[in-house]
Structure 1
Amino acid sequence: MNGGGTRRWGWGGSGRAESMRADAQAAKDAAAAAFYELDTAQRDLRISIETITAVEDSPAGRKAVSDFAALGTRIDQVSHEYITVVDAHDLDRDDLDSATAARAREELTRTKQDLERAKAELDRFERGLGRLLEQAETQLARLAPAVERARQGLLAASNALDAARASGLSADNLAARLAGLSPDLTKLNEGAGQHGVRETLQRADRVAREAEAIRGEAERLPETAAETDKRLSSLRTRAQALHTRAGKVEPVLSELRRRFSVECWQDLQGVPDEAVRTVRQAEEKLREAQKARDEQRWPDATSLLSTVRALLNTTDEAVKAAGDRLQRLNEVSFDHKPEVERTRFAIRDAQRLAMAGRTTPDPRHARPLDDSVVRVDRAVEGLTGRHPDYWHFLTELDAVKETVQRVVEQIRQEMGAGSGPAAGNGPGSGR
């Protein structure tokens, strides 16, 4: 009696035939396993390629896609051959003879080896994708957080603008900049599938940076307004004071003309008119700055206030120069010896420094110091006549002191670099 699960052996129950059928079946199972592994690996790798394609538009990315397509063609061919071989051999036939089973086993074994070789080639290809895939996955991992940062940045900027407006500041320029980000927000919401991962990441980063800048400026607006008001008040007061001081330059010039030679004051002749003109220009710029502040054009207000400060600095220096000139000329006309002694002391101090640790000075140091001695003597000799040119005398001694200071600095630099003797007492040594 035959049960439902028994096989009818039409070939006499031959042990060899049954063994050949079993071997063929084992080869078929092994080929099926190899086919499954290859198919699974190909599907997994296709996901990796799609990941790279979504991010990488580089030559390396395009080559990876092209190479995968070519590899897929070869895999499809091997898979087709496997299916053909499986379909060609029915190992459950009752009349399957040993020769047919042997042939089936041979072909299935060969097909399995082809599948394994294709799998090995696929594995090598996948290993070669390591860096590209890692970069792509890194960018994909950044995508969602980057888009969320951009959205949160826009929200924070909008809230900061609302707070600034609530304090009475219009912030129209910042509002316009924020509105200009709306098209980018729309594209971020549409997603990387439509606009690409790389482009979306770049857009998200750009939006986040700009939103943060807008938020920061909006939060600083009250401080900016207060600082601008303070600078306006301070510069307005300074301009008024300079206007008063400029009016005192003419009496100073009158005394210079009366008591000293023309060489001592001729370069100051234009100071009164220049001071008045510059102060007037500064006051005009102050009015423009006030208007810009009222209209809350903060960059314009800041720029105009910087111009005002520069104009007032120039005027202040010119007005101060006239007063300083008269004071210095008074002192030197009364007694020029203290100025001469100060200059000669500076020269002697530099000479001692130049000789520190030496038997003879370096000509690079000695020559300008010796020339300075001659220049001082010549300047003193030039103080002749009823109205000596005291201003030339003073400027010459100032130039000598500058020369001496340069020599001292050169010596000290060389000492610090180890190319000279150890630093000793000298000008600026604190002795």
Structure 2
Amino acid sequence: MAAMNGGGTRRWGWGGGRAENQRAGAQAAKDAAAAAFYELDTAQRDLKISIETIGAVDDSPAARKALTDFADFGARIDRVSQDYITVVDSHDLDRDDLDAASASRARAELERARQDLQRVKGELDRFARGLGPLLAQAENQLARLAPAVERARQSLLAATTALDGARGAGFTADGLAARLAALSPELTRLNEGAGAHGVQETLQRADRVVREAEAVRGEAEQLPQRAAEIDKRLSSLRTRTQALQTRAEQVEPVLSELRRRFSVACWQDLQQVPQQAASTARQADEKLREAGAARQEQRWADATALLATVRALLNTTDEAVKAAGERLQRLNEVSFDQSQEVERTRFAIRDAQRLAMAGRSTPDPRHAGPLDNAVERVDRAVASLTGRHPDYWHLLTELDAVKETVQQVVEQIRQERAGH
């Protein structure tokens, strides 16, 4: 009995010690696999947050590929995690009758499960590092979100305050009020947040609200100045219209002297100036009345457009009235002594010819041709002064045309030499 017991004790002791060692090794493998499983699960959860951040902000091909790749990782993680759980469930390391072979087998399977978990974890880490630029860009967008929405709210508040101030100063500002009211639905969408409308759309909406609200605020604040400017322009243009009427009355005596002293060609194109001036003055008066009414009704755009029309009318007729007086002055001067005007033109031609010959033995035909033709035109214009009432106006217009041609040649020469 003692020998049997002793033998049994020795076999149990050797076998039991080996089994316990294998159990301990299997338990260590189980703990290591559990740690690998936890690390992989944590990494997946952390990366999911990054992926969701990218997906909420970025719709680029690179971002869409990242989301697809992460979904593929999810399937692989599910497989290795399920394999790990299956191994753990299939081995009870705490049962009393665990033999060495079972413990060894459990240890080997748990080691393989740990290695699979760690391999996928390494691949997931590399994938996460590759997402760095996309994630940084997405986080920058998200960092802009709250300030952008707040700027939009503040801009709307400032626009509302400015509009209230304008109305308090007596301006109706109905158009501005309508534009501000149209932004109310946009504010509602901003308050609903990026979760409902997306980060990019929310950022764009916030920027748009800021721009439009700032425009309303600026126009509301400028209403007093705008009204004052229109009042000033109304007064100034009324004065100009009255002055034009006075000057228009002086055109007829000028024309009378032109008719008496010079040929028909010298004044025929001015015949309609008195009637045109009178018609323009009437039109200007009518437009000024309309602009005044628009100003009283605070139709600022209409008032501004009408005033621009009046200014254009007056500018055109001012030039015509001024031309009549200048025509008589120039004709008086040239009829008394045309030599000065002719000599000034000839001097301009000679000066251009000297420039064309500078540094050359022969002139460039492109320059010489127009200048030679200019000399001939002057000679013909002077020779045309014949009869009792010579056409002095033809002489003046021809000399003006010659001087313009000469100036063009001079500019051409200078540009070419500057280019070289």
Q: Same fold (TM over 0.5)?
A: yes
Q: State whether residues 11 and 95 of structure 1, in contact with CA within 8 Å, keep that contact through their aligned partners in structure 2.
A: no
Aligned residue among 118, 124, 141 for 1:122 = 124
Match of 1:185 in 2: 187
Structure 1 residue 183: Cα displacement: 0.5
Percent identity over paired residues: 78
**Residue identity in the other structure for 1:77:** R
Structure 1 residue 254: Cα displacement: 1.7
Match of 2:64 in 1: 62
Which stretch shifts more, 406-415 or 128-137? Answer: 128-137
Aligned residue among 153, 158, 170 for 2:155 = 153
**Residue identity in the other structure for 2:378:** V
Q: State whether residues 11 and 97 of structure 1, in contact with CA within 8 Å, keep that contact through their aligned partners in structure 2.
A: no
Match of 1:110 in 2: 112
Q: State whether residues 343 and 400 of structure 1, in contact with CA within 8 Å, keep that contact through their aligned partners in structure 2.
A: yes
> Per-residue displacement from partner, 1:200-242 (whole Å, max 9, x unpaired)?
1111110011111111111111111111111110011001110
Q: State whether residues 54 and 197 of structure 1, in contact with CA within 8 Å, keep that contact through their aligned partners in structure 2.
A: yes
Match of 2:13 in 1: 12
Structure 1 residue 191: Cα displacement: 1.4
Match of 1:325 in 2: 327
Q: Distance in 2 between matches of 1:241 and 1:346?
A: 38
- The structure carrying a bigger helix percent of its residues is 2
Q: Distance in 1 between matches of 2:140 and 2:285?
A: 59
Structure 1 residue 121: Cα displacement: 2.5
Match of 2:174 in 1: 172
**Residue identity in the other structure for 1:367:** G
The answer for unaligned runs of 5 or more in structure 1 is 1-9, 420-431
Aligned residue among 184, 197, 200 for 1:198 = 200
Residue 343 to residue 84, structure 1, CA distance change in 2 (3 Å):
same
SS of the residue corresponding to residue 13 of structure 2 reads coil
Match of 2:272 in 1: 270
Q: Distance in 2 between matches of 1:12 and 1:291?
A: 117
Match of 1:258 in 2: 260
> Per-residue displacement from partner, 1:285-314 (whole Å, max 9, x unpaired)?
111111111111212211111111111000
Match of 2:382 in 1: 380
> Per-residue displacement from partner, 1:301-345 (whole Å, max 9, x unpaired)?
111111111110001011111111111111111111110011111
Q: Distance in 2 between matches of 1:67 and 1:358?
A: 76
Residue 11 to residue 281, structure 1, CA distance change in 2 (3 Å):
farther
SS of the residue corresponding to residue 390 of structure 2 reads coil
Match of 2:88 in 1: 86
Q: State whether residues 232 and 305 of structure 1, in contact with CA within 8 Å, keep that contact through their aligned partners in structure 2.
A: yes
Aligned residue among 368, 391, 394 for 1:392 = 394
Aligned residue among 404, 408, 417 for 1:406 = 408
**Residue identity in the other structure for 2:302:** D
Structure 1 residue 59: Cα displacement: 4.1
Match of 1:424 in 2: none
Q: State whether residues 256 and 326 of structure 1, in contact with CA within 8 Å, keep that contact through their aligned partners in structure 2.
A: yes
SS of the residue corresponding to residue 290 of structure 1 reads helix
Aligned residue among 165, 184, 187 for 1:163 = 165
Aligned residue among 114, 135, 138 for 1:136 = 138
> Per-residue displacement from partner, 1:240-264 (whole Å, max 9, x unpaired)?
1101111221221122112111111
Structure 1 residue 186: Cα displacement: 1.0
Q: Distance in 2 between matches of 1:406 and 1:44?
A: 75
Structure 1 residue 11: Cα displacement: 5.1
Structure 1 residue 124: Cα displacement: 3.0
> Per-residue displacement from partner, 1:121-171 (whole Å, max 9, x unpaired)?
322332333333222211111100000000000111111112222222222
**Residue identity in the other structure for 2:99:** D
Aligned residues: 409
Q: Distance in 2 between matches of 1:92 and 1:290?
A: 101
Structure 1 residue 57: Cα displacement: 3.5
**1:284 pairs with 2:286:** yes
Aligned residue among 343, 346, 349 for 1:347 = 349
**1:220 pairs with 2:244:** no
